[in-house]
Amino acid sequence: MAARKDGLKRYVEERNGKFYAYESTSVMKDGKKVTKTTYLGRQDPVTGEIMEKRKGMTKEERTKNAIVRPGTIVSKEFGNVYFLDGIQSGIGLKDDLIRSFGMFGNTILGMALAQTVDPGAFMDIGHTIRRTAIDEMFDIGRDMSSPRMSDLTRSIGESSECIDMFFNKRLERAGNIVAWDTTTSGTYSVRTGLAEWVPSKDDDVGLRQMKIGLATDGRGVPILFEMFPGSLTDSVMTKRFVSSVRERGKDCIFVMDNGFESGGNVVCLRNDGIRFVMPADDSSKAVKKLLTEFPKHPDVMNKVHDGHAYKVWETELAMILDTKRTTADGGPAYTYLSEYDDGFIECGMKVRAFVCYSSKKYSDEEQRLMVWLDMIEKELDGNTFTRPMEKFYEVAGKAARYFDVTCDGKVLHLVRKSNALSFAENRAGTFVMLSSPEISWDVMMSAYDARRFTEQAFDAYKNGLDGRRPRTGDKYVAKGRIFVKLIALIMRCEISALMRERRINKISVDGILRSTGNIMAVRCGNIIGMTEITKTNRELFGAFGIPVPTERDITNI
């Protein structure tokens, strides 16, 4: 430290290989001598020259006008965000979010796009947003760090009116087919008020379950979701859903799974004038009779849907009151009658039934069954187990009906039942669909496709978007997180729908996002540019009707 005649002392400190110069002097304060230090600036280690101090900037100035040393490059993933922006613009997603949530809709969309690019835990959203151009393109301007995620998602979950407004706007954009399905979701927490001990549809054994209902349009793109207590049955949830959609003023065809199908539920739909499509349960005597008569019936026709050939018999089923039983809630129960049963003609309550056979479906089901039985035999037949019969039912599950089982001590022996296999072979490729009387074959099959797309959407939600277990015990946080996941699911399902419609089948959704993610927005000093766009990138943008990005599309990098 060097002392000067004016009493100032100058010294230099080294930190991380850089040298910082200071001056200090002694002053009197409150009758005491204290040291006052002044920062002079960085010192050049070679010449000893002190460089001029850089003027301090506000946080906004540092964000918008970052000073970058010559030769230093800042880059962000740009192509994937630009691609997703083109997709969401095509379906009015951002517009609906902003009309429902105000400018907070930008934040929700940014979180959802981060989940679309990098599905996973919410704690990683901030990292994804910093790595990509999401913040710059959508001007989020919020702290998206992990500690803030619970606050942000809770504020979404508590905004029930905004969520309902968003769903209303998505319903307005949907066509006249709405498909509905439900699933269980396991959670470690009991504090949601929805989690209960019930059987799981998945592998979450030992966890409390809540239920999630998901509705999609005819293209398989989600339009709304609802959360329910785990103990509610599928039929109760579906009745609530139908009522909810009708209250929103939407007139559409409802597509449901066979968990809702029963004579009583069908009568309720017919009495309320609700158009519907659902698969029939083949355990009903009347449905079994249709399946038996189908191969030889003279009215069987050849039809084609979506490039696949079907044999179809269009007939009817009647519903009559079953005086020998009641429903689970004590209400009246109904049973089906086919045209071969007494009382069919006199019954005034009827539904249309489509008995269908597909050779492709037959081949797939036959292949799947044979592979399944072979795997069971290899695991069990001739092997020793402590509790052999328990092991058999654990492994075989629903395939147990295809085997005669004997035990030689603790050794299992399996023999296939020829009659059961013949019955399964005769039924393979055949299915029965029920609908309200005014539904045609083409409309029914389009609706049936929508139900399949809903199942695929659930699979994408649980696996592709890591939606299996909400990692929170707060029901509002859980609702907010599921809502963000739903927006991401809308994006992925819209891309999948466009791929089906435009025959884009050589790449997956993840492959598209990875490929376009290689297009980087780059800043070096005050120069902004973009890395090369490959032929594959140009073909992808063209296939989806999105203009190829240019440097004019880059902002605030």
User: Can you read off the two tokens belonging to residue 303?
Assistant: 């039809």
Candidates 322, 190, 186, 206; CA nearest to 267 is 322
Task: Judge contact between 520 and 530, C-beta under 8 A.
Answer: yes
Q: Is residue 169 part of a domain?
A: no
pLDDT of residue 465: 56
pLDDT of residue 38: 81
pLDDT of residue 63: 47
Say what the pTM is: 0.71
- Tell whether 353 and 365 lie within a shared domain: no
- Tell whether 303 and 379 lie within a shared domain: no
10 Å CB burial of residue 343 (0-12, 13-18, 19+) is exposed
Q: How many domains does the chain have?
A: 4
Candidates 167, 202, 155; CA nearest to 182 is 202
Q: Is residue 491 part of a domain?
A: yes
Rounded average pLDDT per 10-residue block, the chain, 557 residues: 61 74 76 75 75 57 50 83 95 95 92 90 87 88 79 90 92 85 63 54 58 83 80 71 78 80 82 87 87 91 91 93 77 86 88 93 90 94 93 92 93 93 87 92 86 73 56 75 90 92 90 94 83 93 94 78
Name every residue whose Cβ is closer than 8 Å to that of residue 127 and which is 6 or more positions away in sequence: none
Q: Is residue 73 part of a domain?
A: yes
- Tell whether 260 and 208 lie within a shared domain: yes
CATH code assigned at 269: 3.90.350
Q: Is residue 167 part of a domain?
A: no
- Structural domain of 131: 61-159+474-557
Q: Is residue 168 part of a domain?
A: no
- Tell whether 205 and 348 lie within a shared domain: yes
- Tell whether 47 and 69 lie within a shared domain: no
- Tell whether 447 and 310 lie within a shared domain: yes
- Tell whether 242 and 102 lie within a shared domain: no
- Tell whether 260 and 373 lie within a shared domain: no
- Tell whether 333 and 369 lie within a shared domain: no
- Residue 234 CB: number of other CB atoms within 10 A? 20
pLDDT of residue 488: 92
Q: Is residue 339 part of a domain?
A: yes
